Amino acid sequence: MTNARVNIDPQFVVGAINRRLFGSFIEHMGRAVYTGIYEPGHPTADDEGFRRDVIDLVRELGVSAIRYPGGNFVSGFQWKDGIGPREQRPRRLNLAWRSIETNQVGLHEFASWTEKVGSELMYAVNLGTADTADALEVLEYANIEKGSTVSEQRIANGRTDAFGIRMWYLGNEMDGPWQLGHSPADDYAKKASRTAKALRQLDPEVELVASGSSHPTMATFPEWDRTVLEYTYDDVDYISCHGYYEEKAGDLGSFLACGVKMDRYLDTVIATADYVKALKRSDKTLNISFDEWNVWYLGDNLRSFPRQADRFYRTDEIEGNDWPETPRLAEDVYSVADAVVVGGLLISLLRHADRVTSASMSMLVNVIAPITTEPGGAAWRQTTFYPFALTSALAHGVALDVRVESDHYETDEHGSVALVDAVATHDADAGRSAVFLVNRSQSDDITVTIDLAALGTTTVLDAQTMADDDISARNTREDPDRVRPSRNPSASTAGSVLTITLPAVSWTAVSLG
């Protein structure tokens, strides 16, 4: 057993926590939409064909906003395919995921679903095979109340009120050779700049995200981001980040610390954005939309797609030249260790709350997701569901810049790393605070002390810990509740000092009132 100390002062504010930090992502990929959120004929299906069991779980997860409809899919998507009478909608080839897109769920249906789950709809436009005119038309369709041919078409299709979508993504991962319409940075940047200007001219209220690098390991990172921002800085509100993490060749130590990798990635993108700010003598500070993040096992047993020689995606059903409908793609089953890492990644995002004002866990249902469904059957929570749900429920107000005193350990990927990582949040109006902690030690419980005096409370409302003797334990159809967090009985206060013991390889949320 070793010890650590977390120092908290509510005066040391990182920034206000934007609720969009607890966003997610639904792409037309695999079973995210079909048999994920939408399955007419399922015993729980509502009158629009949406699974009520999934709606309940998404609400419980506390998802603030959802990015849609892609991802790689959007770069070949013709948005008009998804409007109008369903029986007339085309069956298209989904080139990104080598499958058939039936278009039974489109903008109207997805908007209705986001209202049911209580989330904001955030929309990505196709800047791969499409251009500014197409983006303008979907914005007009979605956000102009009435009086133009395009807005009247929405009304004729059954939606009187405008959708009022605020957040718009200018393409997706345009730096990636796998992307339809992939182009050199300045080609994309010019297209993004003129599209952004046009969208804002149509609707000044929109918030716009330029497509940053798809991963910090890309050879073009961070030069891609610098170039894109040199063209678009005045036109957009965000630059995007994407990051997927996995345990490599049994290197659990590095995996548990991949929050460090996320921190360094964010620090580089922030520095790049601020460099462009300085170049432009601008008063405007650009924010980050971390619009895809999660654990994703891209490593073993994967087959490549024809256009994706250097990027691999898990596919259990795709063979040869088949174009299946609703294949099982990237249905990762997450362990306790994965949940601890997800909790750690949320700590990193909160630590950057001043600049990361939108983030989307990728994805939400079935595809690299915290919720899994069986067609015609049950829906259940993966291990990663819990750190997200608890953080979303407890992290309100502002994120605090805490100081952690802890032993370190050596990692192959990130060098020397603290065994304990933590962040705190403070909501002065509600008189509530929370502390989120990970113990990355693979062998030792760690007892942490936190002086709560500055927070003005000594009341521990709850302390929930995610840990297990078997860190590879998972939730499955047969055993959907095998892993869940439990109350940490060690949490106690003496005077103003909170003491809590964190088991080896664990994530903990302490709620203070």
Q: Which residues are known to be catalytic?
A: 173, 292
Closer to ligand AHR by CB, 356 or 491: give it. 356
Q: Report the C-alpha gap between 303 and 319 in whole angstroms.
A: 10
Closer to ligand AHR by CB, 94 or 102: give it. 94
Residues 207-246, mask of contacts with ligand AHR (x by CB under 6 A): -------x--------------------------------
Closer to ligand AHR by CB, 362 or 382: give it. 362
Decide: helix, strand or coil at residue 13: strand
Cβ at position 195, least distance to ligand AHR in Å: 18
- Consecutive H or E run containing 392: helix 385-394
Closest residue to ligand AHR using C-beta atoms: 71
- Per DSSP bridges, beta strands 287-295 and 356-362 are parallel
User: By CB neighbour count within 10 A (0-12 exposed, 13-18 middle, 19+ buried), where does 58 fall?
Assistant: buried
- Consecutive H or E run containing 93: strand 92-94
Cβ at position 420, least distance to ligand AHR in Å: 30
Cβ at position 103, least distance to ligand AHR in Å: 18
Which of 35, 99, 172, 193 touches ligand AHR by CB under 6 A? Answer: 172
Cβ at position 177, least distance to ligand AHR in Å: 12
Asked whether 260 and 414 are in contact (CB, 8 A), the reply is: yes
Asked whether 118 and 61 are in contact (CB, 8 A), the reply is: no
Cβ at position 228, least distance to ligand AHR in Å: 16
Closer to ligand AHR by CB, 174 or 434: give it. 174
203 binds ligand AHR (CB under 6 A): no
Closer to ligand AHR by CB, 68 or 233: give it. 68
Cβ at position 466, least distance to ligand AHR in Å: 24
Q: Report the C-alpha gap between 456 and 452 in whole angstroms.
A: 7
Decide: helix, strand or coil at residue 412: coil
Two tokens, residue 118:
């209580």
320: left (phi over 0), alpha (psi -120 to 50) or beta: left
289 binds ligand AHR (CB under 6 A): no
- Consecutive H or E run containing 67: strand 65-68
- Consecutive H or E run containing 508: strand 506-512
Positions of E strands within 246-374? 287-295, 303-304, 312-313, 356-362, 371-373
How many residues touch ligand AHR under the rule CB under 6 A: the total is 10
173 binds ligand AHR (CB under 6 A): yes
Tell which residue, 1, 18, 34, 33, has the closest CA to residue 364. Answer: 33
Closer to ligand AHR by CB, 71 or 181: give it. 71
Residues of span 18-57 touching ligand AHR by CB under 6 A: 27
Closer to ligand AHR by CB, 35 or 214: give it. 214
Residues of span 57-96 touching ligand AHR by CB under 6 A: 70-72
Residues of span 351-380 touching ligand AHR by CB under 6 A: 362-363
Cβ at position 67, least distance to ligand AHR in Å: 10
Positions of E strands within 352-505? 356-362, 371-373, 379-381, 398-400, 403-405, 408-411, 415-418, 420-427, 432-439, 446-451, 460-466, 486-487, 492-494, 497-502
Residues of this chain that interact with ligand AHR (CB under 6 A) are: 27, 70-72, 172-173, 214, 292, 362-363
